[in-house]
Amino acid sequence: MTRLSKNVLKAPSAGTLAATAWRCSGQLTANTVVSASPCLLGAILVEIDDTGQDSVITVYDSPTSDTSDDEVLGIFTANGVAKQNSNLYVFPLPGVQAELGLYLTVAGDVKVYVYYR
């Protein structure tokens, strides 16, 4: 069973989260705790700032920066022409379940926006 097909979050319920509005993390350029509580990951927007440099964004199901035993929800790469390309990763509704929280690592010169609820 994948996180996309799970129907239950520990707390709050997926139905409760699905009824709430999407939030945007704002511009992120470094490793960041996006949410310290359970949530649904809906989309990630990556804006490329440096031509020719590959960037890697890793999303963990973690409420803290300690990711030693935490599950990786996704690894996203971005490369292309600076200021001309953006990558948008959108997940099927209701979103990817983060049972503990969302922690993001950013390698490279990019701006990342995380949409979650």
How far from 42 is each of 35, 91, 103, 107, 116, CA to CA, in Å? 13, 5, 14, 21, 5
The reply to whether 79 falls in a domain is yes
Q: Which domain holds residue 78?
A: 14-116
Mean pLDDT over residues 68-73, rounded? 86
Per-residue pLDDT band at 50 (split at 50, 70, 90): low
Average pLDDT on 4-19 reads 55
Looking at the 3D structure of the chain, how many domains does it have? 1
Question: Global pTM?
Answer: 0.77
For residue 9, is it within any domain? Answer: no
- Mean pLDDT computed over 104-117: 89
Distance, CA of 72 to CA of 59 (rounded, Å): 6
First-last CA distance in the chain? 22
Is there a contact between 104 and 53 (Cβ–Cβ < 8 Å)? Answer: no
pLDDT at 8: 45
Residue 106 inside a domain? The answer is: yes
